[in-house]
Structure 1
Amino acid sequence: MSELFKYTASEWSAIQLSLYVALICAVITLPLAIAVGWFLARKKFFGKSVLEGIIHLPLVLPPITTGYLLLLVFGNRGVIGKFFYETFGIQIAFSFYAAVIAAIFVSFPLVTRSIRLSIELVDQKLEEAARTLGASNLRVFFTITLPLALPGVISGFILSFARSLGEFGATISFAGNIEGKTQTLPLAIFSEMQVPGQEASTMRLVVVSVILSLFAMIAAEFLNKRVIKSKTA
């Protein structure tokens, strides 16, 4: 039983890297998802369904396919990856950057959907009233739309964080499984499962994975209730 609490240096490294990647992913994804979510919720245009389909594509694509497509774009021979490698000497694929990019791509549709649905529930008459009183579109967004959609924004942020913690397929194909560099918690669990006699190590990592994911979901519910309660008070 005591073995369940004796984490090795490589295990701590995977845990810390996962938290780091998930936090960076959530911070980068949130403002982008807010902008896209508002655009989809408030604008009508030709091809909107196609755009929504493209945005939500990572939800239905096999994760390994997403990783391969990212590799084609951000690899050293890809359009974007080649530019960064030849211009700045930065290799994106099979690096920490790749782990973050993979997490962003797989979590972005979830965050965007959560925020878009919240913005759609905001009464547009309130926004129109503010505009008639002289408020600019930007002020209306930050003083009315965003505060009223805050539960969805909070849920989106935590969903991005939690989804990044569990990302496996796109990460292993695009970032690789390099210990101390790109080996996140799910990849570390996968690696330990392949080695006979590593049941205790696998269980330790699984326990941490479950606790972190559960904590994220509980935090999301708690914060949402606090926001809703403060609005109704």
Structure 2
Amino acid sequence: METSALIPLALSLKVAGWATALNLFLGVAAGWLLARKRFPGRNLLEALLTLPMVLPPTVLGYYLLVLIGKRGWLGAWLHETFGITLIFSWQGAMIAAALVAFPLVMRSARAAFEGVDTQLEQAARALGLGEWAVFFRVTLPMAWPGVLAGLLLAFARALGEFGATLMVAGSIPGKTQTLSIAVYEAVQAGQDDQANLLVLITSLTCVVVLLAAGRLSRPPEVRR
């Protein structure tokens, strides 16, 4: 495989991996909250958390620029306090990918937690387990196949993210140029062979991830 294809592949895997790791915590927490708690504004919160799934990527990119850009309230604070600049960096690309993929983890986690028998959780509490122990020893293990399927889907989505990433991180070869952006640049430059190779790599990677996610989302007796 050409080195020019390996670099954006490695960067895409790095960005998608960190974005998925971030969503492991944020998405699972949000999914559990929506599945287990009832509070005023719950439906509105769910709608807001699902917005990245339906908003145009350019709109998400603009929101991120307003938030983490050098003039954004968070970006300006990070730059002035710690000297951290997220725009035109792989960390900025990671944040964009995590935002776009977040609803996939959140919705999968919510469905998985809603499928856990609450009587088993009550039994664990009756045996003296605390809330954290119940979650990590009963709830999460039983919901894990659904959560993992959502994480794999989110990884595939983060791997192919284009619009928001381009607005936030740009297209700097070796630094922020992910696979999807590299495909765009190759097509724009008329490099058809390079574009074909990058498209093939992206497609094969996503097919493998989707097959794994589909297998995990089926009941155990169907997987055999």
Matches within 5 A, 1:2-17: 7=2, 9-17=3-11
Please tell me the residue identity of whatever aligns with 1:24: W
Larger displacement relative to structure 2 (212-221 or 34-43)? 212-221
CA RMSD of aligned residues (A): 1.8
Q: Is the 8 A contact 2:9 2:178 kept in 1?
A: yes
1:127-178 Cα deviation digits (max 9, x unpaired): 1122122221111111111111011111122112111111001000111111
1:23-80 Cα deviation digits (max 9, x unpaired): 1111121022111111110000000011001100111110010011001100011011
* Alpha-carbon distance, 1:126 to partner: 1.3
Paired position in structure 1 for 2:196: 203
- Gapped regions of structure 2 (runs ≥ 5): none
Q: Is the 8 A contact 2:104 2:151 kept in 1?
A: no
Please tell me the residue identity of whatever aligns with 2:118: Q
Paired position in structure 2 for 1:110: 104
Paired position in structure 1 for 2:145: 151
1:171 equivalent in alignment to 2:165:
yes
Q: Is the 8 A contact 2:61 2:167 kept in 1?
A: yes
Q: Any idea what SS the aligned residue of 2:87 has?
A: coil
Q: Is the 8 A contact 1:151 1:228 kept in 2?
A: no
TM-score with structure 2 length normalisation? 0.95
1:23 equivalent in alignment to 2:17:
yes
1:70 equivalent in alignment to 2:56:
no
- How many positions carry a matched residue from both structures? 224
Q: Is the 8 A contact 1:74 1:93 kept in 2?
A: yes
Paired position in structure 1 for 2:211: 218
Larger displacement relative to structure 2 (141-150 or 215-224)? 215-224
Match for 2:220 among 225, 228, 231? 228
TM-score with structure 1 length normalisation? 0.91
1:126 equivalent in alignment to 2:135:
no
Please tell me the residue identity of whatever aligns with 1:199: D
Match for 1:46 among 40, 55, 58? 40
Q: Any idea what SS the aligned residue of 1:149 has?
A: helix
Q: Which runs of 4+ in 1 moved over 3 A?
A: 221-225
Please tell me the residue identity of whatever aligns with 2:154: S
Paired position in structure 2 for 1:3: none
- Gapped regions of structure 1 (runs ≥ 5): 1-5
* Alpha-carbon distance, 1:224 to partner: 5.1
1:85 equivalent in alignment to 2:79:
yes
1:142 equivalent in alignment to 2:136:
yes
Measured in 2, the distance between the counterparts of 1:210 and 1:69 equals 29
Measured in 2, the distance between the counterparts of 1:52 and 1:224 equals 22
Q: Any idea what SS the aligned residue of 1:189 has?
A: helix
